[in-house]
Structure 1
């Protein structure tokens, strides 16, 4: 019979051998999950993007905009991705906000004059009132955090609450980087933060649903705030 000391030694050795295998398996899974994605930013400048001059910058691989007392954002500013207007896709990006920030990632949008838009948005704000919600210009909040919403052709909504909105906030890092994932496949929209589903929408509204459009990053008009975006990447799918 092995002594306690020997048994402990064997366990330690087995764990030390298993750790690299677990790490390798995790790395492989991460690489697999990123298959088909292309970077949306070169990490050095705003090539491939378009926004109001003087507002958006790239520093150390981070795309950012800031409203300050000296230079307040009197209007909401968007930074448009110029490479495509996708219908079905999955987009991933790390976001960080500070100050009394209101921001988000807009998609399937129609571009308007003066760097404005209307369309869908995965919401983000420092008070976490709207973080993880699904918003549409002219329509307001379509799905709250923790909701699965089915919108019928005539506009009637059926809402299923699948999780507590306050509990979902535990997945969100206040003042830190949060990994956003937005998916669009036909009428189905999904928003995840840090790997946790925040809301889902199936939008069949004949008047208001959107199927294709531009993607943009946002900093809202208002008080001092900063919005930062890192490593945006996208996989465009064939409908």
Structure 2
């Protein structure tokens, strides 16, 4: 009788183990995502080959002592300009490096080819800024790491060209901090130094959320119809500064309605 009960118990456990599949659970979290970098070529991407290449399955951006930058430059994903979406990738950057993922952005033609203006999920090797929402060549800092922010509505169209007139100490004046996601330094401990981190951006309507390693780092609701953008290019950056290396891999995109 005892052996019979053990046999029944063994069958029951086997059924449970068979019915639960971690890979299926993982795949459900990736439902709807598509890879926008094939890991081998820069098909669909455009950047200055002086600074950008493919290496070991990653898009690599590098500044050397011989190729010091005079301005920030990007490699831009050209195949689409998504509006509402989720974006995920893994990033690794050297200690002195500075980079970021731009989205809903415009290219600054003709004056600054491969330069971008728009929202940016900021990333740096020292993790001073990683996770914050910074608008490249625009309103500057919209939300520091740990902040829930509402950007106030604007009514003066000239602010698009004179946007820095309402920016002080590298932050936008007309922003209101409405909540906290945790202390900036506490959240910093969730970000690995000189190792791979997963960045997840959700841009849905006027709400913009930046996650690092599954932790929400900044949350912006942008009510500014003059400066805010509803769609645009995605691109990743190498920033003016000392020699650095940044790597992006497993880059994928999911469109939202």
TM above 0.5: yes
After TM superposition, the structure 1 = structure 2 runs for residues 100-119 of structure 1, keeping only pairs within 5 Å, are 100-113=96-109, 114-119=113-118
Residue deviations 1:12-69, cap 9 Å, x none?
x99xx68x93995432221001111110111111111001233211112110011111
**Worse overlay, 190-199 or 52-61:** 52-61
State the secondary structure of the residue aligned to 1:115: strand
TM-score, normalization: structure 1? Answer: 0.88
Tell me the number of residue pairs that the alignment of Structure 1 and Structure 2 aligns: 224
- Partner in structure 1 of residue 175 of structure 2: 157
State whether residues 64 and 243 of structure 2, in contact with CA within 8 Å, keep that contact through their aligned partners in structure 1.
Answer: yes
Structure 1 segments of 4+ aligned residues over 6 angstroms from their partners: none
- Partner in structure 2 of residue 174 of structure 1: 193
Unmatched runs of 5 consecutive residues or more in structure 1: 1-9
Q: Is 1:135 paired with 2:154?
A: no
- Partner in structure 1 of residue 216 of structure 2: 197
Structure 1 pair 22–135 and aligned structure 2 pair: CA distance change class (3 A): farther
Unmatched runs of 5 consecutive residues or more in structure 2: 1-5, 155-172
Q: RMSD of the TM alignment (CA)? A: 2.0
Match of residue 41, structure 2, among 38, 41, 45: 45
Q: Is 1:125 paired with 2:124?
A: yes
State the secondary structure of the residue aligned to 2:25: helix
Report the Cα offset of residue 133 of structure 1: 0.4
Report the Cα offset of residue 71 of structure 1: 2.4
2: CA distance, partners of 1:68 / 1:24: 49
State whether residues 95 and 194 of structure 2, in contact with CA within 8 Å, keep that contact through their aligned partners in structure 1.
Answer: no
TM-score, normalization: structure 2? Answer: 0.82
Q: Is 1:65 paired with 2:61?
A: yes
